[in-house]
């Protein structure tokens, strides 16, 4: 799989990239470490999924600002592939080129000024093996290479200039109901990637580190223990096994790693969020009233050794599919008069957390939406679960929704306002346990025709107006206070980016791109792109001109995008001031949010 010839070819193409594109530095570890900081050598680029390794999604660009954003118009658009599900990928920008990936893992490079395609590469995913899982959240960029995950479990390194493969490695197999939907990240010369499929049944979650130059695996970290009759992989698994029981391992355990990640090069720690326990309902998992580590947790793992340094579990003994895989963001905040280096998460369970990122100590937390599954958090951050929220075969309505108060749609942080901008969902979800467990299922279904039992205990957290299903929140992470709310959208689709121009751009699943003032939440722009199933926006600059880009479209069709225009075709949109290009005809309405997305 990995040969000397492949490594030599990698060195040659990287060297060529350096010579041919000397006007922009090759993206090395120093460039990535400084991305998003005042020392950023490429402030107009977008080099990693979250703009910076702290995942803040803040750009200092300010040619487009609150005074002129109403002049934003389409510069160009490009159909980028076939559909199958909503576009979830964050494009990358380097060397005047946009790099993107579609739901079916087709990678493309486009001139960021004109929209002319430079190259395209398709891993030819066997669509019949993915069992309805159709999502891809993005790429990684490092040292002249693009790192692309394919949905069917492969990880590729491609020449960033030509799109030709440099190496390929196998991370997972669809036969095991494992898939890759997470955007890979670069950390200290390694590529970090996790596996999806936690709700496909009988899966054991894990994430891997691969050498970026060769594709050789450096280490693997399992998120839940395996068969107790076999040796434990490490001390972390030995400790976790004490929090499980019965024949849980025959049902996989869960703990999929399909999104949240951050990296702190100063501490040499990678931070990863883990998915829910499987099956959803505790009665099918074995022993009762145990925590089921390390599901629904945030893990800090040493990059060099792959060993666990600390963990923080947001939902012990989860029964509601409340993953902790949502975006992890590293912030330096002043709390109670002293500086704190914290990790933050607007979790699916409805609470916004601040965790000391060095020790894992709980700093603070509060609900950012209406919550009734828990009565609050104790001094250690452990939820005080409302007994009424437990369910069996009688359906019960629980806040927040099964898709989560915040799901994969990225939030962002603006250092000038001190606010985090969270795409949030406000609805409830009806849970109902199956009579008996069936293999390869969650063991839980949404309540059908039976009227669900209502929880009588008072809910906590901000309550949205009647009938409002979701919106964008300007949230103060220090005071745990809702500063402003813009109704519309939700926590599952789209996402945000915030800028030095006092702006927050918010894309919504129904095709709209919105712009708000970052400080007050005033709506300044609304554009209907003509597509549904939107990915998160980014912003970049070339020769002093600022652009806003995003992908959208969930249509199905032939593999070759040149075959014929598709209704709601997956499309890359690029906007700038005074853009005059014509927007596509609006697509049919998006389906209502409710069920969790493919992951």
Which ranges of 159-282 would DSSP assign to H, the alpha helix? 235-241
Cα–Cα nearest to 463, from 535, 368, 542, 390: 368
Contact 475, 421 (CB under 8 A): yes
Give the whole-angstrom CA distance, residue 83 versus residue 444: 29
Pairing of strands 412-414, 374-377: unpaired
Active-site annotation holder among 321, 323, 434, 510: 321
Contact 346, 428 (CB under 8 A): no
Which residues 6+ apart lie within 8 Å of 341 measured at CB?
Answer: 330, 331, 332, 356, 357, 358
Give the whole-angstrom CA distance, residue 363 versus residue 343: 10
Which residues 6+ apart lie within 8 Å of 569 measured at CB?
Answer: 79, 82, 83, 531, 553, 555, 557, 561
Cα–Cα nearest to 105, from 161, 159, 160, 146: 146
Cβ neighbourhood burial of 321 (10 Å; 0-12, 13-18, 19+):
buried
- Residues facing residue 78 across a β-bridge: 572
> ∠ CA 243-403-438 to the nearest 5 degrees?
55
- Residues facing residue 541 across a β-bridge: 546
**Residue 352 phi, psi (nearest 5):** -100, 125
Cβ neighbourhood burial of 73 (10 Å; 0-12, 13-18, 19+):
middle
Residue 302 annotated among the catalytic residues of the structure: no
Give the whole-angstrom CA distance, residue 475 versus residue 329: 14
Cα–Cα nearest to 288, from 392, 438, 420: 392
37 token code pair: 């900081």
Which residues 6+ apart lie within 8 Å of 199 measured at CB?
Answer: 256, 276, 278, 321, 442, 596, 599
Active centre residues (catalytic):
321
């Amino acid at each position: 799989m990995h040969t000397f010839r492949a490594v030599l070819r990698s060195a040659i193409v990287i060297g060529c990239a350096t010579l041919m594109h000397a006007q922009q530095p090759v993206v090395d570890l120093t460039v990535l470490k400084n991305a998003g900081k005042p020392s950023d050598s490429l402030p107009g680029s977008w080099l990693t999924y979250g703009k910076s390794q702290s995942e803040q999604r803040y750009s200092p660009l300010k040619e487009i600002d609150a005074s002129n954003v109403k002049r934003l118009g389409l510069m160009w658009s490009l159909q980028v592939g076939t559909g199958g599900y909503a576009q979830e990928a964050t494009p990358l920008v380097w060397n005047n080129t946009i790099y993107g990936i579609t739901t079916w893992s087709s990678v493309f490079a486009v001139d960021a000024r004109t929209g002319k395609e430079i190259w395209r590469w398709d891993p030819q995913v066997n669509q019949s093996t993915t069992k309805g899982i159709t999502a891809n959240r993005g790429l990684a960029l490092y040292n002249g290479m693009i790192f692309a995950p394919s949905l069917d479990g492969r990880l590729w390194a491609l020449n960033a200039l030509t799109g030709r493969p440099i190496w390929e490695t196998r991370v997972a197999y669809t036969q095991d109901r494992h898939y890759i939907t997470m955007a890979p990240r670069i950390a200290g010369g390694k590529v970090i990637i996790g596996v999806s499929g936690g709700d496909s049944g009988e899966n054991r979650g894990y994430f891997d580190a691969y050498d970026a130059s060769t594709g050789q695996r450096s280490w693997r970290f399992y998120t839940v223990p395996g068969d107790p009759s076999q040796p434990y992989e490490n001390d972390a698994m030995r400790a976790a096994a004490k929090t499980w029981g019965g024949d849980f391992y025959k049902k996989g355990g869960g703990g999929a790693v399909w999104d949240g990640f951050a990296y702190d090069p100063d501490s040499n720690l990678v931070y990863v969020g883990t998915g829910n326990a499987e099956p959803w309902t505790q009665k099918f998992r074995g022993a009762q009233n145990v925590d089921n580590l390390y599901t629904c947790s945030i893990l800090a793992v040493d990059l060099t050794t792959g060993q666990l340094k600390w963990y923080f579990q947001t939902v012990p003994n989860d029964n509601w599919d409340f993953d902790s895989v949502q975006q992890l963001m590293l912030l330096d905040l002043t709390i109670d008069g002293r500086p704190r280096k914290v990790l933050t998460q607007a979790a699916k369970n409805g609470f916004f957390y601040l965790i000391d990122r060095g020790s894992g100590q709980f700093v603070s937390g509060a609900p950012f939406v209406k919550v009734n599954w828990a009565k609050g958090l104790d001094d250690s951050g452990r939820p005080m679960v409302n007994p009424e929220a437990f369910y069996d075969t009688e359906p019960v309505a629980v806040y927040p929704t099964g898709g989560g108060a915040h799901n994969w749609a990225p939030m962002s942080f603006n250092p000038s306002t001190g606010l985090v901008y969270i795409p949030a969902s406000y609805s409830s979800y009806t849970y109902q346990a199956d009579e008996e467990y069936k293999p390869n299922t969650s063991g839980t279904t949404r309540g059908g025709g039976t009227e669900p039992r209502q929880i009588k205990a008072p809910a906590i957290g901000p309550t949205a107006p009647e009938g409002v299903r979701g919106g964008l929140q300007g949230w103060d992470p220090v005071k745990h206070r809702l500063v402003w709310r813009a109704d519309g959208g939700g926590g599952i689709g789209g996402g945000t980016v915030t800028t030095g121009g006092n702006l927050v751009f918010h894309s919504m699943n129904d095709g709209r791109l919105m712009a708000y003032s970052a400080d007050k939440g005033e709506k300044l722009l609304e554009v209907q792109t003509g597509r549904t199933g939107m990915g998160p926006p980014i912003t970049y600059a070339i020769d002093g001109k600022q652009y806003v880009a995003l992908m959208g479209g969930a249509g199905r069709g032939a593999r070759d995008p040149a075959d014929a225009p598709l209704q709601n075709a997956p499309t890359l949109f690029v906007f700038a001031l005074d853009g005059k290009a014509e927007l596509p005809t609006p697509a049919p309405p998006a389906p209502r949010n409710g069920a969790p997305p493919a992951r």
